Amino acid sequence: MKCVSIILIMLSSIFNLFSQSIEKPDSIRLPENLPSIYEFKLKSLDGVEISLSKYAGKKMLIVNVASECGYTPQYADLEKLSETYKNNLVVLGFPSNQFGSQEPGSNEEIKSFCKKNYAITFPVFEKSEVKGEGKSPLYQWLTDKSKNGWNEQEPKWNFNKYLVSEKGELIGWYPSKVKPFDEIINSKLR
């Protein structure tokens, strides 16, 4: 019985490690020679190429999204957050089928789902990989401290969130359970 208790405590600790938000410590000074997030050009669900430099001067909340996930209702709050802070924030959605195959649709089906079910107006990009060897260049930047200055957290599930400052610096990573209007995110948007 004692071994079972120890194992449960260890599993709980591991779960908490993966469910905690991580933010850039103020003590970290980012080197000036880091690649810029503004160098990325990505295709929208419509196939239109969009440069992230378009969003310079605004914060970016980058979220890996999915249509068939328990967290999918966060789309509604992401849209509301986008509207609430539209003057200084852009939400960017990145569909991925890497977690439980919960985004099986084509880009056209994803676009239709987002419009019909959540009236999404924020940019949603082509389906891509957000973890592992095949991850997109943007997610390579978000998860490699040699590129972003401090963070190595890959998404653990759908609806992980990365917050980028208006200067293009990664300032936070938030797991799926952190809702878009959670104070930990909102305190950085006001």
Of 52, 63, 65, 69, which is the active-site residue? Answer: 69
3 catalytic residue (yes or no): no
Q: Which tokens go with 14?
A: 């591991």
By three-state DSSP, how is residue 146 classified? helix
Q: How many CA atoms lie within 13 A of 120 on its CB side?
A: 28
In the chain, the N- to C-terminal Cα span, in Å, equals 50
Q: Measure the CA–CA gap between 109 and 67, rounded to whole angstroms.
A: 10
DSSP-assigned states of every residue in 78-116: HHHHHHHTTTTEEEEEEE--TTTT---S-HHHHHHHHHH
> Which residues are part of the catalytic machinery?
69
